[in-house]
């Protein structure tokens, strides 16, 4: 008799646990850093932001910070206006004079995306995400793979303003170390 009541209780417990899991899709106000490139070619650094949500996000008041190797914050860009539709990317670039602080592909680097309430909603710290001292090669980048949701990786071909690949391409780690020494 007790076993009859045990099965519904176990089923209810499993259902409760499954409902507590975090959703696959981020909340509507969650933009993500998607790709970062330091010195793609002379005087061209950029940060790509992706909207993985189902809602258009008003960018007014959001900003990007660079955290340098000494832990000092530098404003990269503050959005005064703009909207980012679902599934779209936005590139903030030094080529368009949108960046107040430069990004290195060789030095320790941190980038934070901050909402209008001064809360960091996403960040990238190179040494934590891809390994200490590992920079991307010329014309490469640090990118989330798959697009907008995956882990950070080093790419040998940046995809500025485009969808990141669904799979990680293999890179020659000797090449990365050689480029870092140059």
Sheet containing strand 63-67, strands side by side? 73-78, 63-67, 110-114, 120-125
Whether 10 maps to a domain, the answer reads no
Look up the domain containing 144 and give its range.
25-181
- Residue with the larger pLDDT of the pair 129 and 24: 129
113-163 pLDDT, tens digit per residue, is: 999 999 999 999 999 999 988 888 888 899 999 988 889 999 988 899 998
Whether 154 maps to a domain, the answer reads yes
Whether 14 maps to a domain, the answer reads no
Instruction: Supply the pLDDT for residue 138.
Output: 83
CATH of the domain at 101: 2.60.40.1260
Q: Which residues of 50-70 are buried (b: 16+ CB within 10 A; e: fewer)?
A: bbbbeeebebeebbbbbbeee
44-62 pLDDT, tens digit per residue, is: 889 999 999 999 999 999 9
Contacts of 165 (CB under 8 A, 6+ apart): 145, 146, 147, 155, 159
Q: Return mean pLDDT, the chain.
A: 78
Q: Which two tokens stand for residue 51?
A: 């909207």
Q: Which is it for the CA torsion 106, 109, 115, 120, positive or negative?
A: positive
Whether 1 maps to a domain, the answer reads no
Whether 20 maps to a domain, the answer reads no
Residues 26 and 55: beta-carbon distance below 8 Å: no
Q: Name the domain count of the chain.
A: 1
67-120 pLDDT, tens digit per residue, is: 888 888 899 999 999 999 999 999 998 877 787 777 876 777 899 999 999 999
């Amino acid at each position: 008799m007790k076993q009859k009541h045990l099965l519904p209780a176990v089923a209810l417990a499993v259902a409760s646990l499954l409902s507590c899991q975090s959703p696959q899709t981020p909340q509507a106000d969650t933009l993500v850093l998607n790709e970062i490139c330091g010195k793609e070619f002379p005087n061209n650094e950029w940060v790509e932001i992706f909207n993985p949500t189902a809602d258009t996000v008003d960018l007014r008041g959001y900003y990007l910070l660079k955290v340098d190797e000494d832990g000092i914050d530098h404003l990269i860009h503050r959005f005064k206006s703009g909207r980012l539709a679902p599934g779209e990317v936005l590139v903030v670039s030094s080529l368009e004079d949108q960046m107040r602080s430069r990004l290195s592909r060789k030095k320790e680097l941190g980038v934070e995306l901050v909402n209008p309430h001064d809360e960091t909603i996403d960040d990238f710290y190179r040494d934590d995400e891809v390994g200490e001292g590992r920079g991307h090669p010329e014309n490469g980048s640090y990118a989330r793979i798959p697009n907008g949701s995956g882990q950070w990786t080093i790419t040998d071909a940046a995809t500025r303003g485009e969808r990141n690949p669904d799979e990680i391409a293999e890179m020659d780690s000797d090449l990365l170390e050689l480029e870092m020494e140059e």
